[in-house]
Structure 1
């Protein structure tokens, strides 16, 4: 069984999965080529395998607009993502457990897509009151993050937390209901296509899943 087959079986085993009959009906109809990379439309991460026209009609969730600062002190916004796919993760510089491994796995992605004109890599700080621009810059130097299309981002806590939970569904099922002031910590790495639609979610601490993210990115770039 391939990677996505295993992931789908795992999702079905969880009680939160709700497969849309309408999506299944559309994906069985004759039409355009159905993408091998699923679309996700809600925090339960039910996968929808659709062609482009079906996706346009059925998938209404997109990453929201944002304006933040990167580790070089430059303003970074959703405008920089237009016409590009991107991978997002949520970290903090003082994290001593999962974050070092998350950075390591993001480097796997960065190595493959270094300076790629259609790829952006985003690491949002979940402790922006600590991780100001100088702190993120120092962290980038210590971790040898020198990839031009990898951006460590900071800004308003409320903006970042809202973006994480409502746009990226960083904590899956609880994305919409968790108190926005409660600390955000997740190992997820989220893949987003050129239209701002979520196309993949991976455990950002595992090498196998980082490698799968790379494969899915390569397919997305070909599809688009």
Structure 2
């Protein structure tokens, strides 16, 4: 009986070797030895996929740009774009954000599928004329970079409830306004997108004051342009 058991076991081993060992060797050669069907579904991105998280649709907006042209979220459909909230007389973080946005512009200058929306939180001062002069001083070259102004309450609603990016008026602070220093990244279909942090959590927005944040959003703009 023992001999028959050994013979049966040997036969099973032989069959396993004939069928499966060549497949294992091929997987080792192709560096896919740990991949099964479920792992393949997670780790193998289809062409054009970025690995970026979709947060949700961009809030609807319609505002006037520096050329007195009405611009809305629909204007940007088909384009990857970045949104910021700022004001031209800001004495603190806005100049840093503006310089970093210029760097982003220069990285994608000439690409018709990239744009920027800079929305003023001090629209009573930041008229189209003021915004146009501000854009000139900054060195804005892109025709797809719109400096947007409109009703103050409407803009605060877009910032605070639409994007969840804080903007407020405070006469006790230098400049009279407070706002977030983050940039929002929007894809061609009008969805807010972002990468994940080292813990796997969506970062939501990109730090517009930090070179690392600017580097990250620049990398992710390139990914979305190729989607």
- Taking structure 2 as the reference length, what is the TM-score of the superposition? 0.68
Q: Rate the CA distance shift 1:138–1:89 in 2: closer, same or farther, 3 A.
A: same
Task: Give a deviation string over 1:55-89, Cα, whole Å, max 9, x none.
Answer: xxxxxx31122211111111111221111111001
Q: Rate the CA distance shift 1:217–1:130 in 2: closer, same or farther, 3 A.
A: same
Q: Work out whether 1:209 is the aligned partner of 2:217.
A: no
Q: Which residue of 1 aligns with 2:87?
A: 92
Displaced runs of 4 or more, over 6 A: none
Q: Which residue of 2 aligns with 1:53?
A: none
Q: Which residue of 1 aligns with 2:185?
A: 191
Match of 1:135 among 125, 130, 135: 130
Equivalent-residue separation in structure 1 for 2:138 and 2:225 (angstroms): 28
Equivalent-residue separation in structure 1 for 2:117 and 2:209 (angstroms): 16
List gaps (5 residues or longer) in structure 1: 1-26, 41-60, 172-177
* Matched-pair contact (CA < 8 Å) for 1:116–1:149: no
List gaps (5 residues or longer) in structure 2: 1-37, 171-176, 195-204
Equivalent-residue separation in structure 2 for 1:181 and 1:144 (angstroms): 28
Task: Give a deviation string over 1:101-135, Cα, whole Å, max 9, x none.
Answer: 00000011100111322111011001011101111
Match of 1:77 among 72, 91, 116: 72
SS at the partner of 2:57? coil
Shift of 1:184: 4.8
Q: Which residue of 2 aligns with 1:104?
A: 99
Q: Which residue of 2 aligns with 1:23?
A: none
* Matched-pair contact (CA < 8 Å) for 1:62–1:167: no
* Matched-pair contact (CA < 8 Å) for 1:187–1:204: yes
Match of 2:54 among 9, 24, 39: 39
- Taking structure 1 as the reference length, what is the TM-score of the superposition? 0.69
* Matched-pair contact (CA < 8 Å) for 1:161–1:184: no
Q: Rate the CA distance shift 1:28–1:165 in 2: closer, same or farther, 3 A.
A: farther
- How many matched pairs? 170
